[in-house]
């Protein structure tokens, strides 16, 4: 995807978020932090062949569905469980004609979530795998783990990022550890 095809991520976000609200500002700050780290990873690893423009766009849009969830601590007043933000965001991106971006969105939560994890944890998600497949999907999911929406401008250490995933189980930690070796 060359620069001539570049999408206007802010314009897409502003279709769904009111500019300069607390939620908008939080989403933009978080998304920019994730996008900057993701593009750094792409630049540091040309051997991976990742598309830097696409990675930036996907990182900017990966959390577009949060407004539909119930997460008052981060200004979200929707009625869906927060874990559904990835699927809700993917639906939005598909209506925008952005299928590849939608795949990043629906697969970024945790270090991906498998059908087995969904079943075992009784998560309110369809019982199928939502695990990053493309290198771009993996980079965005990995970069996202270093930034919390509750402290969007603070980059977590590797230990903090890994620690935030521990409660989700060994399968997710193993994926994160695999990515950390790839992107180190």
pLDDT exceeds cutoff 80 at 1: no
What is the model's pLDDT at position 3? 42
- In percent, the amount of the chain with pLDDT more than 90 equals 88
What is the model's pLDDT at position 40? 98
pLDDT exceeds cutoff 90 at 153: no
- DSSP E strands in 5-108: the ranges are 70-71, 76-77
Counting the structural domains of the chain, the total is 1
Question: Residue 54, SS3?
Answer: helix
- Expressed as residue numbers, the domain containing 132 is 3-183
pTM for this model (two decimals): 0.94
**CATH number of the domain where residue 116 is located:** 1.10.3210
Retrieve residue 154's tokens. Answer: 């603070």
CA–CA separation, 166 and 151 (whole Å):
19
Output the CA angle 72-74-77, nearest 5 degrees: 40
What crossing angle do the helices spanning 135-144 and 99-107 adopt, rounded to 10°? 50
Mean pLDDT of the chain: 94
Q: How confident is the model at residue 151 (pLDDT cuts 50, 70, 90)?
A: confident
Question: Residue 129, SS3?
Answer: coil
Q: Which of left, alpha, beta for 20 (phi over 0: left; psi -120 to 50: alpha)? A: left
pLDDT exceeds cutoff 90 at 176: yes
């Amino acid at each position: 995807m060359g620069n001539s095809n570049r999408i206007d991520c802010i314009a897409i976000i502003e279709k769904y978020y009111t500019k300069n609200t607390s939620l908008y500002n939080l989403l933009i700050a978080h998304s920019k932090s994730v996008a900057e780290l993701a593009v750094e990873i792409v630049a540091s690893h040309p051997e991976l062949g990742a598309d830097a423009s696409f990675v930036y766009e996907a990182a900017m849009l990966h959390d577009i569905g949060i407004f539909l969830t119930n997460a008052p601590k981060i200004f979200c007043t929707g009625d869906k469980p927060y874990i559904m933000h990835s699927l809700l965001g993917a639906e939005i991106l598909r209506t925008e004609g952005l299928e590849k971006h939608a795949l990043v969105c629906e697969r970024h939560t945790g270090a991906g979530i498998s059908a087995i994890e969904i079943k075992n944890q009784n998560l309110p998600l369809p019982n199928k795998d939502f695990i990053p497949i493309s290198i771009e999907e993996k980079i965005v999911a990995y970069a996202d783990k270093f930034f919390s929406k509750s402290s969007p401008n603070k980059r977590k250490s590797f230990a903090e990022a890994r620690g935030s995933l521990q409660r989700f189980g060994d399968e997710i930690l193993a994926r994160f550890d695999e990515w950390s070796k790839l992107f180190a």
